[in-house]
């Protein structure tokens, strides 16, 4: 039997795609290109991050402690749930690990900052600058717990106005709302991965501009009186997300690369065993994105503050 028509072309295209992925994962920079190619480049940075975490001894040593503590904490929480639910330990452990990985690192903030510093070195970037160097540990924990509460609120209620509007549209279906919720939650996982790499960039970043979703909700609320409730929702979501303004601005400027990075990161999280290194790989991959795409990040003119919490 002969080969199917077009089979050789498909094989050739697949090989060409694999070669481009390999080049990007090896460190080749894509300065310009169509959206699909930029998505591919962003996707390859997760593979590059996996290679750095696994091959750089100092980075791996820095990642082992917070990774182990996060996993042990998730396992302990899963054991409690499994005891009440009569089994289901592994499902509960994975769910707990995903939940912990999607929130700010709070108690382990300093350990993950060390991972970010080592990731900059491993990626060949200049040394990073700690925004809160020398701050007492109790103040670090208090600040990060407050940010975690704000992030949880932003994830929980930030999509609510849009979800309500979707539910009111005939024939759209509840599945669309669930899909929007999943995308919104994962977007915040990406913002969280970008947080430490962004804050370690040398120089002050400024407070940042209002996020794209705050502006979008506000614009929708001004379109008609029926949508007017979206305007206070925009202000509230903007207040909740204020500590992540610079990270949201990064994803807006580099949406295709950020999208590719997000796709690869969620795939890595699903890999058995290796997925426990998700946050280390995510921080390293986000560091590569920040260092490659924004080596000199924009700073609002006349800004006096950094990315520290405002309000």
Of residues 303 and 277, the one with the higher pLDDT is 277
Q: At what angle do helices 89-101 and 57-85 cross, to 10 degrees?
A: 130
Q: pLDDT of 83-142, one tens digit each?
A: 666 656 666 666 666 666 656 677 888 999 999 999 999 999 999 888 777 889 889 889
Residue 25 inside a domain? The answer is no
Q: What angle do CA 151, 53, 141 make, to 5 degrees?
A: 35
Indicate whether 22 belongs to any domain: no
Residue 308 inside a domain? The answer is no
Residues 6+ apart with CB under 8 A from 96: 73, 74, 75, 77, 78, 81
In a domain, 29, yes or no: no
Query: Mean per-residue pLDDT for 16-45?
Result: 89
Structure tokens that stand for 284 in this block: 């390293």
Query: For residue 309, is it within any domain?
Result: no
Residue 181 lies in a domain: yes
Give the range of the structural domain holding residue 265, as residue numbers without chain letter.
42-293
CA–CA separation, 163 vs 166, rounded Å? 5
**End-to-end CA separation in angstroms for the chain:** 71
Determine what percent of the chain is predicted with pLDDT higher than 90. Answer: 36
Q: Taking residues 43-68, what's their average pLDDT?
A: 94
Nearest to 217 by CA among 199, 197, 191, 236: 236
For the chain, how big is the Rg over CA atoms in Å? 21
List, as one string, the DSSP characters of 90-130. Answer: HHHHHHHHHHHHTS--GGGHHHHHHHHHHHHHHTTPPPP--
Q: What confidence tier does 311 reach under pLDDT thresholds 50, 70, 90?
A: very low
For residue 3, being part of any structural domain is answered with: no
C-beta of residue 40 within 8 angstroms of C-beta of residue 92: no
Number of structural domains the chain divides into:
1
Question: Is residue 124 assigned to a domain?
Answer: yes
- Dump the DSSP string for 127-147: PP--TTTT--HHHHHHHHHHH
pLDDT, residue 304, reads: 41
User: pLDDT digits over 153-202, tens only?
Assistant: 888 777 776 666 665 666 666 667 777 778 888 899 899 999 999 989 88
């Amino acid at each position: 039997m002969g080969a199917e028509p077009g089979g050789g072309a498909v094989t050739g295209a697949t090989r060409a795609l694999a070669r481009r992925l390999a080049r990007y994962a090896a460190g080749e920079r894509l300065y310009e290109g169509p959206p699909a190619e930029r998505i591919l480049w962003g996707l390859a940075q997760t593979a590059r991050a996996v290679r750095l975490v696994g091959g750089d001894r100092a980075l791996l040593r820095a990642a082992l402690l917070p990774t182990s503590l996060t996993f042990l904490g998730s396992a302990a929480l899963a054991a409690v749930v499994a005891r009440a639910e009569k089994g289901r330990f592994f499902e509960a452990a994975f769910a707990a690990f995903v939940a912990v990985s999607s929130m700010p690192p709070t108690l382990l903030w300093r350990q993950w900052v060390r991972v970010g510093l080592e990731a900059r070195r491993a990626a060949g970037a200049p040394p990073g600058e700690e925004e809160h160097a020398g701050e007492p540990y109790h103040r670090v924990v208090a600040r990060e717990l407050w940010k975690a509460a704000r992030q949880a609120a932003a994830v929980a209620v930030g999509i609510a106005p849009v979800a309500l509007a979707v539910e009111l549209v005939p024939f759209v279906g509840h599945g669309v709302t669930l899909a929007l919720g999943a995308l919104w939650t994962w977007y915040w996982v990406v913002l969280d991965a970008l947080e430490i790499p962004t804050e370690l960039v040398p120089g002050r970043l400024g407070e940042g501009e209002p996020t794209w979703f705050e502006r979008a909700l506000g614009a929708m609320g001004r379109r008609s009186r029926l949508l007017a409730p979206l305007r206070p929702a925009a202000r509230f979501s903007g207040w909740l997300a204020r500590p992540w303004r610079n990270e949201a601005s990064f994803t807006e400027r580099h949406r295709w690369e950020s999208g590719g990075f997000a796709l690869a990161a969620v795939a890595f999280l699903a890999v058995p065993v290796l997925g426990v290194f998700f946050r280390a790989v995510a921080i390293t991959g986000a560091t590569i994105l920040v260092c490659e795409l924004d080596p000199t990040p924009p700073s609002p003119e006349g800004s006096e503050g950094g990315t520290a919490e405002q309000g």
